[in-house]
Amino acid sequence: MNTADGNFPQEGFSTAPGILAVTTLSLPITIVMVNLIIPSVQRGSPDAEKCPVRDVLDRIGDRWSLLVLLNLCRGPVRFTALKRAIGDISQRMLAKTVRTLEQDGLVTRKVYPTVPPKVEYALTAMGTSLLEKFQPLVEWADENHQAVREARARYVPPAAAEAL
């Protein structure tokens, strides 16, 4: 990214309202990060319901939804195979989770007329696009999992009086 005089900008930081630009001399690029300002709102308030980030994260930020979506990324999966793949999820919680994901348009449910009934779940195009956005998070978690576990083991909580 050239400046007005045709030269590359100097190494460092520059700011403009809502934008932080980081320029390095080792790379001829400027990384621009847009600072998103999300107003503070009370959970359950009418304003919270209007916030798209809060609305989506409330639904997929639970303990199981992302794991279900990740297990569906290779193709349709039967309910029992999905439960077995996740492991420590109850049948009731898995049923509730896939129902919520289906309601949000991230998962489809196909019932085959057999005895016993065969039910398969698959990602929709929207579910696939969501997982594409989560891929960097999954990679980061994989790369840093051991370091996070070690940090948790080293952590000493502050005394009750210091915690506030």
* pLDDT tens-place string over residues 82-98: 999 999 999 999 999 99
- What per-residue confidence (pLDDT) applies to 58? 83
Q: What angle do CA 144, 89, 124 make, to 5 degrees?
A: 80
Which tens digits make up the pLDDT trace of 19-68?
444 444 444 444 455 555 555 677 777 776 678 888 888 888 899 999 99
Cα–Cα dist 135/106, whole Å = 16
Q: How far apart are CA 86 and CA 64, in angstroms?
A: 9
Q: Give the end-to-end CA distance of the chain in Å, rounded to a whole number.
A: 46
The CB density around residue 108, as the number of other CB atoms within 10 Å, is 16
CB 120 within 8 A of CB 78: yes
Q: Which amino acid, residue 153?
A: A
35 against 124, higher pLDDT: 124
